[in-house]
Amino acid sequence: MAATIYDVAKKAGVGIGTVSRAINNSPQINPSTKDRILGVARELNYQPHALAQSLARKKTFTIASVVPFFTNYFFIELLRSVQHALSRSNYDLILYSVDRMDRSDTTLERVLSERRSDGVLIISIGLNDAYAGKFIAANIPVVLIDHMHFQIDSIAIANREGAYSATEHLIALGHQRIGMIDGHLSSYPAILRLEGFKKAMLEHNLVFDDRHLIICDAQAGEHGFNEVAGYLAMKRLIAQNDILPTALFVASDVQALGVMRAAKEAGVRIPEDIALVGFDDIEFAKFVGLTTMRQPIAMMGQMAVERLLERIHGDQQGDFHHKLKAELIVRETCGSRKGFHVQAES
Amino acid sequence: MAATIYDVAKKAGVGIGTVSRAINNSPQINPSTKDRILGVARELNYQPHALAQSLARKKTFTIASVVPFFTNYFFIELLRSVQHALSRSNYDLILYSVDRMDRSDTTLERVLSERRSDGVLIISIGLNDAYAGKFIAANIPVVLIDHMHFQIDSIAIANREGAYSATEHLIALGHQRIGMIDGHLSSYPAILRLEGFKKAMLEHNLVFDDRHLIICDAQAGEHGFNEVAGYLAMKRLIAQNDILPTALFVASDVQALGVMRAAKEAGVRIPEDIALVGFDDIEFAKFVGLTTMRQPIAMMGQMAVERLLERIHGDQQGDFHHKLKAELIVRETCGSRKGFHVQAES
DNA sequence: CCAATTATTGGAAGCGCTTCCCGAATAGCC
DNA sequence: GGCTATTCGGGAAGCGCTTCCAATAATTGG
């Protein structure tokens, strides 16, 4: 069995309180006894038991992340950055997955009741007022990523503005007949991106054909933000239109990948026949040359962690609703209008 | 403050032991008092404190996973399946990331010392004898994924055989001048895949040109299993050879993606000029039509979790070194020899 | 040299639970 | 009815730690 604090105390001939002070380097201890105790501890290979510490301190040094597992590479890249940001602290990360968006409640309930964590990161999941209230009542700091709630800290992308920019890029390229493929409108970002798209069209006096808008089906609460949904949407677009749009704004990169696959199958060339702009800039967008709106994913993860940690430490008060701007990354799927917006890329 | 077991006991007019029996549905309790207590508990919105339970039970209902974060989509898909398999149990998942492969020790040390978990999943990381011994001594069940150790349960892919099959496929297609792009040989799978490749060449009496073998550089202990490494390798291959191989076996799909990008830039057509076989079958392989060796990633994750849980419950003894076979998935990067090996795909 | 501080230390109490031991209550049996 | 099994419930002990309080030892100033 592993050594406990009592073993160390006995062997060092001191009380357990003193050992505790030694290992937590409290100032209330004589440096020489401290050294001696640390020596004994090393000898015994003593390691404090994290759980016991948590119980006594009422602090777990763990943060929870609630993630829709794993429908979209966006989450993964976010998680990576969260983990990265966290690795500089000594907090552990515990993962709560929600497998169906429409059943996120049970997961949230679990996070709340287990009390394993000092703070929670909720990714791409809407928090209703009831749960927001519960977290506030339980005094557990929460940061929402890619979603909003008026009472809860959040960090999200400016979706409407991003969609606007994407569409505007297409318009600037001379396109007039522009379509859009969106996620299901049960998703908040999907709504906003559609709004941004429509706004851009309107402000540039372009009419937009309803048949050129395809909303992906939601499945298992997934909002259609996946490759297959994009593929299917593109097939539908091609099937139901005699004249295709000359340009397409797709609400996410994974969907755009599906669009490209369907286009290829149908002999529709990109960008020659249809120009394409995505959204997210997941890692693979670069590999396939997809023009897209870059979400600063890594930045979002890092900021969220920093904010959460601050909240945990009680440093910060006041609301925090950060909105990051998406940035247009021009690659090849809109034709070689390189230099239209110069971007440094590694 | 949240209700404790004492609050429930007092309000129900019983002892704490009885409350404990009620919520853990022990048989040693009168059903009627149990119901009454459960009623009170609900009223008070009582939730047992997971940490306190863990401490008292000496069981955490948590499993740890040690993951190289996140150099390769292989890990992510594995993690997804792990999480999925776990969601059917009531174990939580805590994530320990190792950011540099060559510094996995500190992470393992932490897993060991914190004792937050009942079992550990170690993904794609080599375990040396010292740490294997420590886990055994601490009596913590471990399952290794994508790696081996003679004393520790493991589940891995048959790398050598998979590489052999990939190469053989190319040979069967009539290729003679076959090259390979591999990860750095500090990686065990990289070694095995190279062996399988060479074996296939040898057994089919094909000579293989050393200049057609590119070993990616290892960076930050990353073994070169990433897109950029593949890209760079392909550039090198093209640069240092007057006559290129007609086919290429690439040790991982992410690298193959880089290879494709470099090929495109250099005007080398795939599959016309060079046929390509990858390894892993990550989700994106399908999107880009990459012929590859499928690792049953989801199966690996699931089996690993099942085995780990069995070990935790003490059901299983004896060694367990499972080797799964990789399966050839024919797509487009070797030319349209569709039907060569018919594969059902959704 | 003495009172007043101040620096250290020991260890009980407490974190919220499980579990074991023991007594009370009830049931079963002759 | 009396006696033994059985069932059920109470609560102390214990999981491994932190922290607070009181006690002791070392210093300081005069």
Token code pair at residue A255: 């969907």
Q: What's the rounded mean pLDDT across residues A65-69?
A: 87
Strands, sheet with B327-329, edge to edge from the N-terminal-most edge strand: B213-215, B178-182, B247-250, B275-280, B292-294, B327-329
Quote the mean pLDDT of chain B: 90
pLDDT in tens, B142-180: 999 999 999 999 999 999 999 999 999 999 999 999 999
> Between residues B325 and B336, which one has the greater pLDDT?
B325
Residue A315 has a pLDDT of 77
Q: pLDDT category, A71, cuts 50, 70, 90? A: low
Q: How far is CA B78 from CA B86, B156, B305, in A?
A: 12, 12, 11
Q: Which two tokens stand for residue A176?
A: 């007039």
What is residue B191's predicted lDDT score, i.e. its pLDDT?
Answer: 96
CA of A147 to C1' of C15 (A): 35
What confidence tens digit (pLDDT) does each residue in A96-112 have?
988 777 788 989 999 99
pLDDT score of B87: 87
Q: What is the DSSP letter of A14?
A: S
Least confident of A88-92, A173-177, A252-256: A88-92
- Looking across all nucleic acid strands, the nucleotide with the smallest C1' to CA distance from residue B21 is C18
CA distance B143 to B207: 39
pLDDT in tens, B236-282: 999 999 999 999 999 999 999 999 999 999 999 999 999 999 999 98
Q: Is the pLDDT of residue A346 over 50?
A: no
Q: What is the pLDDT of residues A202-229, one digit of tens each?
A: 999 999 899 999 999 987 767 899 899 9
Q: What pLDDT band is residue A344 in, cutting at 50, 70 and 90?
A: very low
Q: To the nearest whole number, what is the mean pLDDT of chain A?
A: 90
Residue A99 · residue A310 · CB < 8 Å: no
Plot region of A205 (φ>0 → left; ψ -120 to 50 → alpha; else → beta): left
C-alpha–C-alpha distance, residues A87 and A93, integer Å: 9
pLDDT of residue A337: 47
* Chain A residues bordering chain B (beta-carbon distance below 8 Å): 2, 47, 49-52, 54-55, 60, 62, 69-70, 76, 79-80, 83-84, 87, 92-97, 99, 112-116, 138, 227, 257-258, 260-261, 283-284, 287-288
- Going across the sheet that includes A62-68, the strands are A321-324, A153-157, A142-145, A119-123, A62-68, A92-98, B92-98, B62-68, B119-123, B142-145, B153-157, B321-324
Residue A345, pLDDT > 60, answer no
pLDDT at A309: 94
Confirm if B213 and B193 have CB atoms less than 8 A apart.
no
The reported pLDDT for the residue numbered A339 is 39
CB B234 within 8 A of CB B263: yes
Q: Is strand C in 7 Å reach of the CB of A330?
A: no
Q: State whether the Cα torsion A98-A104-A110-A113 is positive or negative.
A: positive
Provide the token pair at B79: 């993690």
Q: Cα angle at B134 between B133 and B140, to 5 degrees? A: 105
**Listed residue (B236, B146, B145, B221) closest to B186, CA to CA:** B221
Q: How far apart are the first and last CA of chain A?
A: 51
HEC per residue, chain B = CCCCHHHHHHHHCCCHHHHHHHHCCCCCCCHHHHHHHHHHHHHCCCCCCHHHHHHHHCCCCEEEEEEECCCCHHHHHHHHHHHHHHCCCCCEEEEEEECCHHHHHHHHHHHHHHCCCCEEEEECCCCCHHHHHHHHHCCCCEEEECCCECCEEEEEECHHHHHHHHHHHHHHCCCCCEEEEECCCCCHHHHHHHHHHHHHHHHCCCCCCHHHEEECCCCCCCCCCCHHHHHHHHHHHHHCCCCCCCEEEECCHHHHHHHHHHHHHHCCCCCCCCEEEEEECCHHHHHHCCCEEECCHHHHHHHHHHHHHHHHCCCCCCCCEEEECCEEECCCCCCCCCCCCCCCCC
pLDDT exceeds 90 at position B192: yes
Residues of B with CB under 8 A from a CB of A: 2, 47-52, 54-55, 60, 62, 69-70, 76, 79-80, 83-84, 87, 92-97, 99, 112-116, 138, 227, 257-258, 260-261, 283-284, 287-288
Task: Report strand pairing: B153-157 vs A178-182.
Answer: unpaired
Whether A342 has a pLDDT exceeding 60, the answer reads no
Task: Report the share of chain A in percent with pLDDT over 70.
Answer: 95
| CA separation for the pair B18, B41 (Å, rounded) | 12
Q: What is the mean pLDDT of residues B120-127?
A: 93
Residue (of B265, B273, B211, B227) closest to B247 by Cα position? B273
Q: CA-to-C1' distance for A53 and D28, Å?
A: 38
Place of tokens 């990161």: A121
- B340's CB contacts (< 8 A; 6+ apart) are B169, B172, B173, B330
Q: Closest residue of A to B59, CA-based?
A: A51
Whether A195 contacts A146, CB under 8 Å:
no
Of A38-47, A130-139, A214-223, B43-52, which gets the smallest average pLDDT? A214-223
**Spacing of C-alpha A63 from chain mean position:** 15
Q: Do B95 and A114 touch (CB under 8 A)?
A: no
Q: Could you give phi then psi for residue A344, rounded to 5 degrees?
A: -80, 130
Condensed to tens digits (0 to 9), the pLDDT of residues B19-75 reads 999 999 888 889 899 999 999 999 999 999 999 999 999 999 999 999 887 656 778
Residue A298 in this model has a pLDDT that exceeds 80: yes
Between residue 55 and residue 84 of chain B, the positions with Cβ below 7 Å from nucleic chain C are 55-57
The answer to whether the CB atoms of B113 and A47 lie below 8 A apart is yes
Determine the pLDDT at residue A72. Answer: 66
Inter-chain contact B116–A50, Cβ cutoff 8 Å?
yes
- Buried-exposed string A21-52: b where 16+ CB fall within 10 A, e elsewhere: bbbeeeeebeeebbebbbebbeeeebbbbbbe
Residue B346 has pLDDT above 50, yes or no: no
How far apart are alpha carbons B113 and A279 in whole angstroms?
A: 43
pLDDT value of residue A241: 93
pLDDT of residue B336: 60
Q: Does A319 score more than 50 pLDDT?
A: yes
User: Residue B59, CA: closest nucleotide via C1'?
Assistant: D15
pLDDT at residue number A101: 75
Looking at residue A221, its pLDDT comes to 66
Cβ-based neighbour number of residue A242 at 10 Å: 5
A94 has pLDDT over 90 = yes
Domains of chain A, earliest start first: 5-48 (1.10.260.40), 61-157+297-324 (3.40.50.2300), 159-295 (3.40.50.2300)
Which is nearest to A117 in space by CA: B62, B100, B327?
A: B62
Please list the residues that pair with A34 across neighbouring strands.
Answer: none
* Residue B2: predicted pLDDT: 84
A-chain CB neighbours of B93 within 8 Å are 94-95, 97
Higher pLDDT, B296 or B338: B296
What percent of chain B is predicted at pLDDT more than 70?
95
Peptide bond preceding B70 in cis form (omega within 30 of 0): yes
User: Which of the pair, B339 or B273, is modelled with greater confidence?
Assistant: B273
**pLDDT tens-digit map of A161-199:** 999 999 999 999 999 999 999 999 988 899 999 999 999
Q: A328 - beta bridge partners? A: A293
Read off the amino acid at residue B192: L
Residue B221: predicted pLDDT? 66
Cβ contact, residue pair A92, B97, below 8 Å: no
Q: How far apart are CA A132 and CA A125, in angstroms?
A: 12
Which residues contact residue B107 at a Cβ distance below 8 angstroms, ignoring those fewer than 6 apart? B66, B96, B97, B98
Q: How far is the CA of B115 from the C1' of C22 (A)?
A: 34
What is the per-residue pLDDT across A274-286, written as a single tens digit (0 to 9) for each?
A: 999 999 998 889 8
Nucleotide C9 C1' to residue B62 CA (A): 37
Q: At what angle do helices B31-43 and B5-12 cross, to 10 degrees?
A: 120
